[in-house]
């Protein structure tokens, strides 16, 4: 495993361009103040600033918010640190010796579950005034109702498939030869009404794959709540998380109490708010026969921003395999909540022909509505040939 230097203790690399020093220093400043900043996020931040020009400080601020994704309750603190670093003089605050007590704030693969728990919700979180946060607050007030409805109705809302097993029926054209013969023998040769059977109809399996990387940390708790409601509502749901590792969460989410289930899931996942290897982890899922069987003939919903930082070839291969084996393949991305969103990255353009749905995954209400509509939108694919499957 490649080990990156910690941003809060390592000196600025000598091979960095001169203009990248302040950007790298800002990532170190955030780590010093307890923000969970992965090395990949620091690199992506510098790349985003390069991509935007930048033409103004607003471009740098937007790049920082998009790549570091500060939690809502810490947004005010994040903005204050940004103002202090780029518009004031905060350099002396981080170039001194780092105190030992700051070390536990840096989470790695060996951290305990307690160190990886979600940040404590402060009472001052409602002071944020941005438009996006107001929308989130309004949706949050109905979360309980949406989750309860999802749990009650998801079992009957999934697409159905015909099983090879049969059950008795009073109508139809398929005769139950064995049952009819037994009835004839029991009636001493009389010919009663024939017995009929039909193939059973069973709900398809639902497979949820949750992205828990740093760029998704504002949504992972909501995704876990939706996954818990789905698992409680149907016995045919499977849930996995992926970031830099792959973790099965189904057993944890079978706990009836939502808070206990989410706490158990939080203890199982070891790569919260870190980097992301979408193609690699999805291919690892498909390489395990027991796991890949969950996707065969299932409704597969991937909840991710689909921002692959590596080569998109692995991600394209993984989505192509899902499309070939699954009944339906959907991508729910929080980026689609912005009306200006367009799937223009190389990875998104590559996987778009393989998707049956590209939907808004920015809220519990939107996700619940989509999951409950799967049964109504389960028409078979008609363009497999155009997808090369």
For 62-121, how does the pLDDT look when each residue is reduced to its tens digit (9 = 90+)?
888 888 888 887 888 888 888 888 876 444 333 333 333 333 222 223 344 333 333 434
Q: Quick check: 110 and 48 in contact, CB under 8 A?
A: no
pLDDT at res. 164: 61
Is residue 130 one of the residues assigned to a domain? no
Is residue 188 one of the residues assigned to a domain? yes
CATH of the domain at 366: 3.40.50.410
Q: Are 373 and 247 contained in the same domain?
A: yes
Tell me the per-residue pLDDT of 7-43, one tens digit each, with 9 for 90 and over.
444 455 555 666 677 888 888 888 888 888 888 888 8
Q: Are 174 and 255 contained in the same domain?
A: no
- Looking at the structure of the chain, the number of domains it has is 3
pLDDT at res. 224: 95
Is residue 12 one of the residues assigned to a domain? yes
Q: Which domain holds residue 60?
A: 1-94
Give the SS3 label for residue 360. Answer: strand
Give the SS3 label for residue 198. Answer: strand
Tell me the per-residue pLDDT of 313-347, one tens digit each, with 9 for 90 and over.
999 999 999 999 999 999 999 999 888 888 888 88
Q: Are 254 and 348 contained in the same domain?
A: yes
Is residue 102 one of the residues assigned to a domain? no
Q: Are 197 and 208 contained in the same domain?
A: no
How many other C-beta atoms can be found within 10 angstroms of the C-beta atom of residue 330? 20
> Which pTM value belongs to this model?
0.59
Radius of gyration of the chain (CA): 25
User: Which segments within 147-285 are labelled E, that is strand?
Assistant: 160-169, 196-203, 206-211, 237-242, 246-248
Tokens 């309980």: give the residue.
Answer: 144
The number of helices, as runs of H, and strands, as runs of E, in the chain is 17, 8
Is residue 119 one of the residues assigned to a domain? no
Q: Are 214 and 192 contained in the same domain?
A: no
Tell me the per-residue pLDDT of 340-386, one tens digit each, with 9 for 90 and over.
888 888 889 999 999 999 999 999 999 999 999 998 754 444 344 33
């Amino acid at each position: 495993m490649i080990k990156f230097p910690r941003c809060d203790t390592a000196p600025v690399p000598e091979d960095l361009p001169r203009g990248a020093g302040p950007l790298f220093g800002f990532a170190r400043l955030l780590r010093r103040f307890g923000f969970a900043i992965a090395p990949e996020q620091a690199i992506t931040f510098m790349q985003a600033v390069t991509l935007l020009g930048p033409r103004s400080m607003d471009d740098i601020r937007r790049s920082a918010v998009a790549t570091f994704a500060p939690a809502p309750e810490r947004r005010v603190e994040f903005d204050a640190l940004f103002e202090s670093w780029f518009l004031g003089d905060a350099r002396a605050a981080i170039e001194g010796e780092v105190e030992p007590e700051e070390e536990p704030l840096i989470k790695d693969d060996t951290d305990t579950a307690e160190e990886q728990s979600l940040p404590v919700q402060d009472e001052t979180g409602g002071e944020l005034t941005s438009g996006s946060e107001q929308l989130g607050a309004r949706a949050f007030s109905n979360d309980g109702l949406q989750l309860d409805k999802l749990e009650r109705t998801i079992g009957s809302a999934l697409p159905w498939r015909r099983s090879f097993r049969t059950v008795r029926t009073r109508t139809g054209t398929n005769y139950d030869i064995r049952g009819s013969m037994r009835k004839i023998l029991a009636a001493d040769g009389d010919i009663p009404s024939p017995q009929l059977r039909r193939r059973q109809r069973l709900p398809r399996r639902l497979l949820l794959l949750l992205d828990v990387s740093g760029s998704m940390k504002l949504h992972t708790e909501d995704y876990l709540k939706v996954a818990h409601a789905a698992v409680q509502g149907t016995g045919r749901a499977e849930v996995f998380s992926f970031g830099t590792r792959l973790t099965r969460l189904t057993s944890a989410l079978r706990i009836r109490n939502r808070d206990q289930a989410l706490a158990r899931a939080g203890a199982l996942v070891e790569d919260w708010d870190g980097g992301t290897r979408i193609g690699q982890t999805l291919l690892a899922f498909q390489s395990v026969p027991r796991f890949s069987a969950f996707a065969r003939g299932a409704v597969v919903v991937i909840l991710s921003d689909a921002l692959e930082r590596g080569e998109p070839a692995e991600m394209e291969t993984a989505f192509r395999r899902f499309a070939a084996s699954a009944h339906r393949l959907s991508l729910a991305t929080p980026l689609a909540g912005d009306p200006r969103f367009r799937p223009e990255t190389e990875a998104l353009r590559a996987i778009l022909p393989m998707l049956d749905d590209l939907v808004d995954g920015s809220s519990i209400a939107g996700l619940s509505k989509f999951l409950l509509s799967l049964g109504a939108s389960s028409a078979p694919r008609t363009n497999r040939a155009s997808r090369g499957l």
